[in-house]
Amino acid sequence: MVPKLKDPSLFKQDVCYVNGEWVKARSGKTFEVHDPATGQLIGTCPEFDAEDTVKAIEAAEVAFEDFRHKTGRERSKLLRKWYDLMVENADDLATLITWENGKPTADAKGEVTYAANFFEWFSEEAPRIYGDTIPSSIPGNRVFTIKEPVGVCGLITPWNFPAAMITRKVGPALATGCTVVCKAPGETPYTPLALAELAHRAGIPKGVVNVITALHNTPQVGEVLTTNPTVRKISFTGSTPVGKLLMKQCSSTLKKLSLELGGNAPFIVFDDADVDTAVAGAIASKFRSSGQTCVCANRIFVQRGIYDEFATKLAAKVREFKVGHGFDQGVTHGPLIHHRAIDKVEQHVKDAESKGAKVVFGGHKLPDLGANFFQPTVLTGMTADMAMADEETFGPVAGLFPFDTEEEVVRMANSTQVGLAGYFFSQDLQRVNRVAEHLEVGMVGVNTGLISDPASPFGGVKESGFGREGSSYGVGEYQVTKMITYGGMGKPLQS
């Protein structure tokens, strides 16, 4: 199906946005983008290569010289205008998200709001970028710091939040005076390109925001962004293996780096929790975007005293989901992004079953709906030797691991190389504090399954990466601190 946009000019085919203009790939090559729900062709996009990417970097370099000297208030107004345009065009942006990503319309609208809010939030930070006054230990010296924009930034984002992962990076970059080259994900390029069109309409000066696309050429585009000496900062959201590769590539020019990588979130329900609240939290955390978010619960640990009650109530809620095309009325959960995602989910379920897990609900593909649909699933009797204990499933499968003691579950929760988000449910105040302090993650949700908010610092520890996005911490990721010492300042007043 081809959805109708209120403003069809937001759908940009075969062009990327470089230096304020819509351009094709130098080679004329394009790649295809498909609706993950039907497999139907949505359209084609430019397959940018190394030379195209260098052109975008050069445009950002030239633009930086002016943009860095705009006042914070001027940059704030540009971001605010871009925010307003996102809100005005929210329905069309949501349509593009559902079309290319598959998430249901209501979730897509939620993402547009979430994404736009990053622009609003960072537009409010832009005029408030302060340095420090530092008392010197040398008599007569006066020491100040100023915060400068780091320079041209290369931003590489994934398909699971086609709008929000971009605005979360572009917002603080522009707030601080940086210019950007965004490499849009090959699976979902049309939402980023529509955002570029809105940037143009908002009057963002040419070259400040460049949005480029590639699918098969992604590694070569990534290599140029991470090795070109003009690019001073890379921010990447995606998998841990790709994050490690980009970090290695960045080492040749020692770029500033932010890496928001994979998670394997523990979700712990203690006997003293309110079970209904915990079930609602698990639904929100585990099944958001059909399990395809980096902060989705991946291992659900339930204390033995409430294990059966929790499993029954969770399965009852999951049974109420309506799986289908994101545009269809009443659909709560859409397809996964592609066959590799489906294969991984199926393999995790089969692995768990073969090692003794029981399928309480779901457990199979839904080929009648389309090749990329998987039935939301609840598994009980999970054990530490199963693939789901170690690997991120990135799909709609809730595997319930039983546990007995607080010490045991915290050990299990921390027994992974990654540490992005963690959740737990308890009504014991001391336990709440103790467990929150002991979880090896960058973000903790206590008695809630939803923690994402532009005002909160988002990011991980261990192999989930480093750097924080959102909040005032997110601003610092795009700045360098310059120290200025004035000598000979301690002279007495002249009479």
Ligand X SMILES: NC(=O)c1ccc[n+]([C@@H]2O[C@H](COP(=O)([O-])OP(=O)(O)OC[C@H]3O[C@@H](n4cnc5c(N)ncnc54)[C@H](O)[C@@H]3O)[C@@H](O)[C@H]2O)c1
Site for ligand X, residues 195 to 234, rule: CB under 6 A: 218-219, 222
The dihedral built from the CA positions of residue 459, 460, 461 and 464, taken in this order, carries a sign that is negative
Site for ligand O=CCCC(=O)O, residues 401 to 460, rule: CB under 6 A: 452
Q: Which of ligand X, ligand O=CCCC(=O)O, none interacts with 452 (beta carbon under 5 to 8 A by kind)?
A: ligand O=CCCC(=O)O
Neighbours of 300 (CB within 10 A): 27
Residue 160 near ligand O=CCCC(=O)O by CB under 6 A: yes
Residue 360, classed as helix, strand or coil, is strand
Choose, by CB under 6 A, the member of 151, 172, 177, 263 that binds ligand X: 263
Question: Among the options 260, 392, 406, 463, which is catalytic?
Answer: 260
The dihedral built from the CA positions of residue 22, 475, 131 and 134, taken in this order, carries a sign that is negative
Q: Which amino acid is at 89?
A: N
Rounded CA-CA distance 93/241 in Å is 30
Residue 158 near ligand X by CB under 6 A: yes
Q: Which of ligand O=CCCC(=O)O, ligand X, none interacts with 178 (beta carbon under 5 to 8 A by kind)?
A: none
Is residue 260 annotated as a catalytic residue, yes or no? Answer: yes
Residue 113 near ligand O=CCCC(=O)O by CB under 6 A: no
Residue 293 near ligand O=CCCC(=O)O by CB under 6 A: yes
Q: Which of ligand X, ligand O=CCCC(=O)O, none interacts with 392 (beta carbon under 5 to 8 A by kind)?
A: ligand X
Helices 105-125 + 90-101 axis angle, to 10: 120
What is the per-residue burial (b if ≥16 Cβ within 10 Å, else e) of 163-182?
bbbbbbbbbbbbbbbbbbbb
Rounded CA-CA distance 210/196 in Å is 7
**For ligand X, which stretch binds (CB under 6 A), given 46-54, 257-265, 350-358, 364-372?**
257-265
Residue 239 near ligand X by CB under 6 A: yes
Rounded CA-CA distance 439/421 in Å is 9
Residue 294 near ligand O=CCCC(=O)O by CB under 6 A: yes
Beta-ladder partners of 184: 213
Beta-ladder partners of 482: 146
Rounded CA-CA distance 66/74 in Å is 12
Neighbours of 490 (CB within 10 A): 11
Q: Which is nearer to ligand O=CCCC(=O)O, 162 or 362 (CB)?
A: 162
Residues marked active site are found at: 260
Contacts with ligand X, residue ranges (CB under 6 A): 156-160, 185-186, 218-219, 222, 237-239, 242, 245-246, 260-263, 294, 392, 394, 420
- The residue ranges that bind ligand O=CCCC(=O)O (CB under 6 A) are 160-161, 164, 293-295, 452
